[in-house]
Amino acid sequence: MVETAAGLWIKAPLAILADGASNGLVVRDGRIVELVPADAVPTVRYARSFDASRHVVIPGLVNTHHHMFQTLTRAHPAAINKSLWPWIKALYPIWARGMRPDAFRTASQLAMTELMLSGCTCASDHQYLFTPGLEDAMDIQAEEAGRLGLRMTLTRGALDLMAGDGEQAVAPRAVIQKTDAILADCERILGRYHDRSDGAMLQVALAPNAPFDVSFELMVETARLSAQTGCGLHTHLVETRAEADFVRSEHGCDAVDFLEQCGWLNERVWLAHGIHFGDSEVARLGKHGVGICHCPTSNMVLASGTCRTKDLEAAGCKIGLGVDGSASNDNSNLMESLRHALMLGRLTYGAEAITHLDVLNWATEGSAACLGRSDIGRIAVGKQADLAFFTLDELRFSGAGDALAALVLCGAHHADRVMVQGRWTVEDGQPVGIDLARLRHEHGAAAKAFAESL
């Protein structure tokens, strides 16, 4: 049910991340139609109001990089306490054994629910695992996002080079697809799900996994499809120094030169991690408006390095945030990643250079821009009514003087309410229509069965 079809005044929030909205906002037909200044009342008609005096209201968070299937291998004994290459070499053989569609569905549902409970209203999942039986993974995720009411960019990943095909390629044969089959499925998914209209609930991006395990042909052809359809392009790039060195040795150029050769140096592209860029690469990425998804939690867990967020932003790049995979994070809590982005950024640039407003912007408007969306990510008239509501009732917030800063500095991690397109998807800390105890049980059973099948 659309709660706001006749107009809902979200009244008198404790704090709100918007100018001129101290007394709240009015939502109607899934959009924000008015911001209400202090000591004022709405000038537009509304049918009812919601008392937000206990809530800090922010734009819904936007997650720009994830691997939802990995929720089934969190904190896996074979992979803990490892850097990226030993970590992925330990997990690829496990994932290559294959995942049943029902297990993948449960893994995706759990990740989406966890994201939403952290205040996320739009997500992108870099789904690159298409073992036999999992060919319809994108369709499954579209269905689950629809059930939850989560806005989503379906990000069709791909692997077409396996271990032995190149110096850095590590993917086993079972996870590899033929290039022609990948491209055919990309066209199918674009035709079925890519909605370019304002307020779209589903969009599509194409996402060859990384330069070391996909072919040059796949990079070029996905760029061609992107130019034809306007869809986004996404890949991992220079997460580690070894990857930057690989591009130089394999292609005789730096990573940004490689992107340009593939047709990937444009504003439709956003890159996961983007840690080990040189100064000239940073400048060129900014010149072309490329987006960077900063994954602070995963980068720290795997000790991959620190993204040059402020340098990239100053150069003209869009900066967004992502939780990354649930086997390298090891959770799907985007609000937690804001705090990690703040702390890691301050170690890099200094305490004065990175503020709570910076990371809130990266996780909202910045992330939305990475996904090519201007209709979400900000509380303003005409934008989609995607909102996250947090209370400051827990002990961790006691004594906090700045409510917005407290969300980040005191470590908020669970939204009390979430609204997507004017619909409540979380109420009183519970996802609407989802039995959390049942989901936890089913996911635990799926993870156990997956482990026992090895």
Same domain, 358 and 326: yes
Structure tokens at 190: 């674009």
Which of residues 349, 370, 391 is at a domain's end? 370
Mean of the per-residue pLDDT values for the chain?
Answer: 95
Q: Is residue 377 part of a domain?
A: no
State the number of CA atoms in the 13 A half-sphere of 340 facing the CB. Answer: 20
Q: Domain span at residue 13?
A: 8-59+383-431
> CA-to-CA distance for 377 and 18, rounded, in angstroms?
11
What pLDDT digit, counting tens, does each position of 184-207 carry? 999 999 999 999 999 999 999 999
> CA-to-CA distance for 76 and 452, rounded, in angstroms?
13
Q: Is residue 454 part of a domain?
A: no
Between CA 197 and CA 202, with CA 199 as vertex, the angle to 5 degrees is: 75
Measured between alpha carbons, how far is residue 196 from residues 231, 367, 392 in Å?
8, 17, 37
What pLDDT digit, counting tens, does each position of 343-366 carry? 999 999 999 999 999 999 999 999
Q: Is residue 357 part of a domain?
A: yes
Q: Is residue 317 part of a domain?
A: yes
Q: Is residue 443 part of a domain?
A: no
Structure tokens at 365: 């408007």
> If you search the block for the tokens 């042909």, which residue do you land on?
217
- Quote the distance between the C-alpha of residue 16 and its chain's center: 23
Between CA 248 and CA 158, with CA 211 as vertex, the angle to 5 degrees is: 175
pLDDT at 133: 93
pLDDT at 326: 87
What CATH number has the domain bearing residue 52? 2.30.40.10
Same domain, 278 and 335: yes
| 272 three-class SS | strand
Same domain, 120 and 40: no
- Quote the distance between the C-alpha of residue 299 and its chain's center: 15
Phi, psi torsion values for 160, nearest 5 degrees: -130, 10
> CA-to-CA distance for 370 and 270, rounded, in angstroms?
6
Phi, psi torsion values for 294, nearest 5 degrees: -80, 125
pLDDT at 258: 96
> CA-to-CA distance for 182 and 163, rounded, in angstroms?
18
- Run means of pLDDT, 10 residues per run, the chain, 454 residues: 72 98 98 98 96 98 98 94 93 90 97 98 97 96 98 97 61 90 98 98 97 93 98 97 89 94 98 97 98 98 97 98 94 97 97 97 98 98 98 97 98 97 98 97 94 73
pLDDT at 356: 98
Number of domains the chain contains: 2
Same domain, 166 and 237: yes
Same domain, 112 and 183: yes
Q: Is residue 149 part of a domain?
A: yes
Same domain, 246 and 321: yes
pLDDT at 1: 40
> CA-to-CA distance for 336 and 323, rounded, in angstroms?
9
Same domain, 124 and 136: yes
Q: Is residue 444 part of a domain?
A: no
Q: Which pTM value belongs to this model?
A: 0.96
pLDDT at 235: 98
Same domain, 224 and 270: yes
Same domain, 248 and 394: no
Cβ count within 10 A of residue 133: 12
Q: Is residue 233 part of a domain?
A: yes
Same domain, 319 and 427: no
pLDDT at 165: 57
Same domain, 29 and 148: no
Which of residues 343, 370, 397 is at a domain's end? 370
pLDDT at 2: 45
Same domain, 75 and 194: yes
In 3D space, the residue among 292, 227, 285, 234 whose CA is nearest the CA of residue 255 turns out to be 285
What CATH number has the domain bearing residue 178? 3.20.20.140
